[in-house]
């Protein structure tokens, strides 16, 4: 019995040198990247600054938090949600043709490659650069933020869309064909019913992400909760930061719970 | 949803054998109505107008047009910040990824049976996940000053939250048979985890980390905007000076870097699985 076990142990592929090499490589990379870490001048002792920030965040400015006018947290959150919602929808509308054109089971490979590179190029440009471009179109405000969100969504949304399109079960279409269905019926019962749950689940997930990323828009004045948050931070008004963050965190947590529930329901049918 | 069924009574169908079955009414109109209301409210609040987009859409391409041809003379000044960005994301991803391991283990319901510990760690993870990266970066710059340290910290926080959640979901879906067998043979929890659970999650964990690293290069470019070092710093500066041809060059280099990183991580992930 023991001999057999030993025999099996000997048969185990020896990978220790590959592991050693990988570990060595990672260590070397880390040592190399350590060289970049430098700290600049702070306005005082780092720890005391951190303590101030944390105490401010835990004592939020309740006046701002429960202010229901257009400068209060509630309205800003609503505006942010609207930006994220419409941004997701516009992004989806733009992504659908792009992803059909870059699915390798529908179009020839070179064309798909071109569109994929195009999508990646869209994804590379940082959000605030888009924000600056759209402010020229619409002027500062939530509208520019919405358009920025939609372009930023394209990268991830179309990547997921492409995956679901490439996973399409062709057999269903063939059986519909055999049953004598028309083109329209094939699309309605063969394609739409396969893609719809995946697409919806992607979009709900993206809405969730857009809500998190919406603060970036504030950098360039493209609406949403980002601008007041950043102003409050650069003015060291940590109580206001606390109020805004509290609202944002609660909203995101609620949306996350709801979106996870819906997505679980969508995938399990 | 039960209320919905009460208002719109299910359709009654009589089968050939006389049995009556109920078909629930489709929810689609209800959901469509909700979506429509949400869209109308959003259009009102954000001031969306298609006419503006069509009329002034060409303005969008003004800056884009000024980026081409890119200023190739500027390329020499890009390499330093680019390397900073890559170093920041490497170190940040590593720290975040390693820190995430104990938290992920503590929030996996199949390893930890204590419900109180589970829910505390999970709530902590989701709160960290909701902190916008920009806010983390700004706070980091107040603590560590302007520079790459702040950016690294922000990336580490972001990676920690993301990898933590992914990893605990991975651990929860693991086949527990081997773990139980190890425990039955008298192995300690740590030993059983290392031999039974770790080999199952390691490839997926590494690929999540690599995916994160790839995204972090992109994030690191934004971090410069708040003074957290790297490529974003010069990007912000050039935008401020309206030297859009230099901005174009930076974006092209960033694009190339992201392409290379994506190809590399795709290659490694394929090897892992």
A105 DSSP assignment: T
Question: What's the rounded Cα separation, in Å, for the pair B245 and B240?
Answer: 13
A67 touches chain B (CB under 8 A): no
Contact state of A212 with B130 under an 8 Å Cβ cutoff:
yes
ipTM surpassing 0.85: no
Nearest to A36 among B144, B148, B239 (CB): B148
B135-159: average pLDDT: 85
B165-188: average pLDDT: 89
Question: What's the rounded Cα separation, in Å, for the pair B47 and A59?
Answer: 34
Query: What is the pLDDT of chain B when averaged over all its residues?
Result: 85
Enumerate residues 89 to 108 of chain A having a beta carbon within 8 A of any beta carbon in chain B.
Answer: 89
B199-213: average pLDDT: 88
Of A35-44, A121-130, A167-176, the one with minimum mean pLDDT is: A35-44
Q: What pLDDT is attached to residue B49? A: 81
Q: What pLDDT is attached to residue A4? A: 84
Query: What is the pLDDT of chain A when averaged over all its residues?
Result: 84
pLDDT of residue A46 exceeding 70: no
- Residue B154 makes CB contacts below 8 A (sequence gap 6+) with B92, B133, B136, B137, B140, B223, B228
Residues in chain A with CB shorter than 8 Å from the CB of B47 are 141-143
Burial class from Cβ neighbours inside 10 Å (0-12, 13-18, 19+) for residue A96 reads middle
Contact state of B127 with A147 under an 8 Å Cβ cutoff:
no
Q: What pLDDT is attached to residue A45? A: 65
pLDDT of residue A42 exceeding 60: no
Six-digit token string for B118: 């589970």
Fold of A61-268: MetI-like fold (1.10.3720)
Output the CA–CA distances (angstroms, integers) from residue B181 to B70, B105, B186, in the order listed: 62, 19, 9
Question: What's the rounded Cα separation, in Å, for the pair B193 and B111?
Answer: 9
Rounded to two decimals, the pTM is 0.83
A141 touches chain B (CB under 8 A): yes
Which neighbouring-strand residues pair with B167? none
Q: Number of Cβ pairs closer than 8 Å across A and B?
A: 174
Residues in chain B with CB shorter than 8 Å from the CB of A49 are 142-143
Contact state of B84 with A36 under an 8 Å Cβ cutoff:
yes
Where would I find the beta strands (DSSP E) of chain B?
11-14, 20-23
The tens digit of pLDDT for each residue in A51-102 reads 877 787 788 777 777 777 777 888 888 889 999 999 999 999 999 999 999 9
Is-contact B78 B249, C-beta < 8 A? yes
Six-digit token string for A158: 């179309």
Residues in chain B with CB shorter than 8 Å from the CB of A86 are 39, 42-43, 46, 48
Place of tokens 């990323």: A213
The tens digit of pLDDT for each residue in B56-110 reads 878 888 888 888 787 787 888 888 888 888 888 899 999 999 999 999 999 988 8
pLDDT confidence bin for B112, thresholds 50/70/90: confident
- HSE (side-chain half, CA atoms, 13 Å) at B179: 17
- Domain positions in chain A are 2-29, 61-268
Q: How far is the alpha carbon of A181 from chain B, nearest alpha carbon, in Å?
A: 23
Contact state of B46 with A142 under an 8 Å Cβ cutoff:
yes
Task: Look at B103 and A2; give whichever has higher pLDDT.
Answer: B103
B189-217: average pLDDT: 88
Q: What pLDDT is attached to residue A32? A: 85
Contact state of B145 with A42 under an 8 Å Cβ cutoff:
yes
A96-116: average pLDDT: 90
Q: What pLDDT is attached to residue B266? A: 85
B9 DSSP assignment: P
Q: How far is the alpha carbon of A176 from chain B, nearest alpha carbon, in Å?
A: 23
Would strands B20-23 and B11-14 be described as parallel, antiparallel, or unpaired?
antiparallel
pLDDT confidence bin for A40, thresholds 50/70/90: low
Question: What's the rounded Cα separation, in Å, for the pair A232 and A141?
Answer: 18
Q: What pLDDT is attached to residue B1? A: 61
Is-contact A223 A76, C-beta < 8 A? no
Q: What pLDDT is attached to residue B98? A: 94
Q: Is the dihedral of CA A132, A138, A142, A147 positive or negative?
A: negative
Q: What pLDDT is attached to residue A39? A: 62
- Closest-CA residue of chain B to A224: B46
Give phi and psi for A65, each to the nearest 5: -65, -40
Query: Cβ–Cβ contacts within 10 Å for residue B29, how many?
Result: 10
pLDDT of residue A43 exceeding 60: no
Of A104-108, A215-219, B172-176, the one with minimum mean pLDDT is: A215-219
Of A90-99, A223-232, B4-13, the one with minimum mean pLDDT is: B4-13
Query: Cβ–Cβ contacts within 10 Å for residue B47, how many?
Result: 16
Q: How far is the alpha carbon of A49 from chain B, nearest alpha carbon, in Å?
A: 6
Q: What pLDDT is attached to residue A12? A: 76
Contact state of A141 with B47 under an 8 Å Cβ cutoff:
yes
- Closest-CA residue of chain A to B151: A37
Enumerate residues 5 to 44 of chain A having a beta carbon within 8 A of any beta carbon in chain B.
Answer: 26, 29-30, 32-43
Of A116-125, A169-178, B2-11, the one with minimum mean pLDDT is: B2-11
Q: What pLDDT is attached to residue B230? A: 79
Six-digit token string for B128: 């960290």
Q: How far is the alpha carbon of B46 from chain A, nearest alpha carbon, in Å?
A: 5
Helix ranges (DSSP H) in chain B:
2-7, 28-46, 50-56, 60-66, 79-106, 115-130, 133-144, 148-172, 177-184, 189-192, 198-223, 231-240, 244-272
Residues in chain B with CB shorter than 8 Å from the CB of A29 are 90
Contact state of B42 with A147 under an 8 Å Cβ cutoff:
no
Q: What percent of chain B has pLDDT over 70?
A: 99
Domains of chain B from N-terminus onward: 2-48 (no CATH), 66-272 (1.10.3720.10)
Q: What pLDDT is attached to residue A236? A: 81
Q: What pLDDT is attached to residue B68? A: 78
Nearest to A124 among B60, B135, B251 (CB): B251
Contact state of B147 with A39 under an 8 Å Cβ cutoff:
yes
Question: What's the rounded Cα separation, in Å, for the pair A246 and A240?
Answer: 10
- Residue B226 makes CB contacts below 8 A (sequence gap 6+) with B134, B137, B138, B141
- Closest-CA residue of chain A to B56: A137
- Closest-CA residue of chain B to A81: B42
Residues in chain B with CB shorter than 8 Å from the CB of A33 are 86-88, 90-91
Q: What pLDDT is attached to residue A185? A: 87
Contacts 24+ apart (CB under 8 A), B22-30: B27/B1, B30/B4
């Amino acid at each position: 019995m023991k001999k057999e076990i030993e025999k099996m142990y000997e048969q185990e592929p020896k990978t220790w040198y590959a592991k050693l090499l990988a570990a060595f490589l990672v260590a070397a990379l880390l040592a190399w990247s350590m060289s970049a870490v430098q700290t600049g001048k702070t306005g005082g002792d780092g720890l005391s600054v951190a303590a101030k920030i944390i105490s401010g965040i835990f004592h939020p400015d309740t006046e701002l938090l429960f202010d229901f006018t257009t400068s209060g947290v509630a309205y800003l959150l609503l505006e942010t949600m609207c930006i994220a919602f419409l941004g997701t929808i516009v992004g989806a509308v733009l992504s659908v043709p792009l992803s059909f054109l870059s699915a390798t089971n529908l179009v020839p490979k070179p064309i798909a490659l071109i569109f994929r590179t195009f999508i990646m190029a869209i994804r590379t440009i940082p959000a605030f650069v888009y924000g600056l471009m759209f402010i020229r179109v619409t002027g500062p405000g939530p509208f520019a933020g919405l358009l920025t969100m939609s372009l930023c969504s394209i990268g991830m949304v179309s990547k997921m869309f492409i995956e679901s399109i490439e996973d399409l079960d062709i057999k269903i279409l063939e059986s519909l064909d055999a049953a004598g269905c028309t083109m329209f019926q094939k699309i309605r019962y063969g394609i739409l019913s396969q893609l719809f749950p995946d697409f919806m689940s992607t979009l709900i997930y993206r809405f969730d992400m857009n809500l998190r990323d919406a603060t970036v828009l504030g950098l360039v004045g493209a609406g949403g909760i980002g601008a007041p948050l950043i102003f409050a931070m650069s003015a060291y008004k940590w109580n206001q930061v606390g109020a805004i963050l509290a609202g944002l965190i609660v909203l995101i947590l609620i949306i996350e719970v709801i979106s996870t529930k819906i997505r679980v329901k969508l995938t399990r049918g | 949803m039960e209320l919905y069924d009460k208002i719109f009574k299910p359709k009654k169908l009589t089968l050939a054998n006389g049995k009556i079955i109920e078909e629930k009414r489709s929810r689609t109109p209800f959901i469509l109505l909700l979506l429509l209301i949400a869209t109308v409210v959003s259009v009102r609040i954000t001031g969306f107008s298609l006419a503006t987009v069509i009329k002034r859409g060409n303005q969008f391409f003004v800056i884009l047009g000024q980026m081409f041809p890119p200023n190739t003379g500027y390329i020499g000044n890009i390499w330093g910040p680019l390397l900073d960005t890559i170093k920041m994301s490497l170190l940040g991803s590593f720290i975040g990824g390693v820190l995430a391991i104990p938290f992920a283990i503590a929030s996996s319901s199949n390893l930890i049976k204590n419900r109180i510990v589970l829910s505390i760690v999970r709530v902590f993870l989701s709160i960290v996940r909701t902190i916008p990266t920009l806010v983390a970066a700004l706070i980091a710059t107040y603590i560590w000053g302007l520079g790459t340290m702040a950016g690294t910290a922000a990336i580490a926080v972001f990676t920690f939250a993301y990898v933590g959640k992914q990893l605990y979901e991975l651990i929860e879906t693991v086949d527990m048979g081997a773990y139980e067998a190890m425990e039955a043979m008298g192995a300690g929890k740590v030993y059983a985890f290392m031999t039974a659970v770790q080999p199952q999650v390691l490839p997926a964990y590494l690929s999540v980390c690599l995916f994160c690293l790839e995204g972090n290069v992109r994030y690191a470019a934004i971090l410069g905007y708040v003074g957290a070092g790297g490529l974003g710093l010069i990007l912000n500066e050039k935008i401020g000076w309206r030297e859009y041809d230099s901005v174009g060059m930076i974006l092209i280099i960033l694009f190339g870097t992201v392409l290379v990183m994506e190809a590399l991580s795709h290659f490694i992930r394929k090897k892992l699985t």
